[in-house]
Chains A and B, each alone.
Chain A
């Protein structure tokens, strides 16, 4: 197994830990939420799982993402995950804050940047 594949698998494992943490955090928060629920809190774990662990495994089967792209992608996933938890906290309290939108825009921007960077690199190699 190549080093890059090992790196990707290690990355997938870390995302998986993050997903487990989010699921646990969400469950505990919901438990003390007096029946008030938030989809964002409940499904915050989906971001590291679907956008982190899954692509990392897929990349491990093919080729690893360039390092910078991987870092940008990770930052994007982290931003979206924290954004979901933040929104969950606000939902459960029953409040809103426009600053919450920053997470979605920044997270999406980072994912896009990672994707475009990876495309550029693969084009150059091709």
Chain B
């Protein structure tokens, strides 16, 4: 026993340190700052609107809640490299004073090179915000696109889990959305999983250490600016009018041109995965995109495929957000996609932050 004393002691230290490091990485919450919560009025407004906007209030993350996907035959016709030639129908009703909601389904065949609509899953508008949710089927993947038109840039927001900035402060996208009265929400950049990368949210600078890559700055006029964080500091972005800065990337589209190569991936990820992205279609006109993946039903997309798809939506700029098991879209309190980490079960992952539309 005495002979092995050093080995036993050292092994114990190594195991304990590793256990602590793993807990520190994945479990122990560290709150660095509290952020001002969204005014209660916003959440109240949404609650008031909810009764008339809820399409299927009883549904949650169940297969039955999804809009019906393509048949197998249709899916096979939409193989990679063979973009369909049909388009979605816009149901923008901006300008109305009353919040409206529809749960329409349509199969619109139309011009060149725009993606195939599987279904329109609903709309929401209140005069300042107009959202149309559409499901597509491309690359053997279910893709959900929320077309958003705003009357003012301040409706495009971000929110942090628990209204706090820190590590391992996480909550589900749907829960953060509900806490912040969001009509539409997608997962953000999961800043809490990394120690680097600019974090500016709702005009507050939380982290100014560059990660060495593309960051998305949403400016105070609602425009997108995608820059390399090695070339500009977080403070400079803030001074230039950045209201939100998200650090994940890479940029998918810049000035309408695809800015990722065919083999490019996020970090060490390979090929097809669930994806989340946000794009600018015009002035105060955005697309929130979530693609399912890792399942037999929905394969997932490469970054290039995602960029190509978004380009065909007519986007000028697009930025890739955290994907994989984090990819979630919530619309009117319901999860619209099929979030999964393993591919075996549908489960919404807790994340650090969301990008949302909130009145």
8 Å CB interface, A77-102 against B: 78-79, 82, 86, 89-100, 102
Residues 265-282 of B, flagged 1 when their CB comes within 8 A of A and 0 if not, give: 011111111000000000
Count residues on chain B whose CB falls below 8 Å from chain A CBs: 32
A102 to B267, CA, bound (A): 23
Contact (Cβ within 8 A) B7 A91: no
Instruction: Summarize A's interface: helix, strand, loop or mixed.
Output: helix
| A94 in contact with B21 given A35-B272, A35-B273, A82-B14 (CB within 8 Å) | no
Complex-state Cα separation, A126 to B269, whole angstroms: 54
Whole-angstrom distance between the Cβ of B30 and the nearest chain A Cβ = 11
**A75 sits at the interface (CB 8 A):** yes
**A36 to B274 Cα, complex, angstroms:** 12
Q: List 22 A-B contacts (CB under 8 A).
A: A34-B269, A34-B294, A36-B269, A37-B268, A71-B6, A75-B6, A75-B7, A78-B10, A78-B11, A86-B22, A89-B22, A90-B25, A93-B193, A94-B190, A94-B193, A95-B25, A95-B26, A96-B193, A96-B194, A98-B195, A99-B21, A100-B21
In the complex, per-residue mask of B323-350: 1 if CB is within 8 Å of any chain A CB, else 0: 0100000000000000001110000000
A41 to chain B: closest residue by CB:
B268
Which range contains the number of A residues in contact with the other chain? Answer: 20 to 34
Report the minimal beta-carbon distance from A117 to chain B, rounded to whole angstroms: 13
Residues of B contacting A82 in the complex (Cβ-Cβ under 8 angstroms)? 14, 18
Interface string of B65-93 (1 = CB under 8 A from A): 00000000000000000000000000000
In Å, the complex CA distance between A78 and B7 comes to: 10
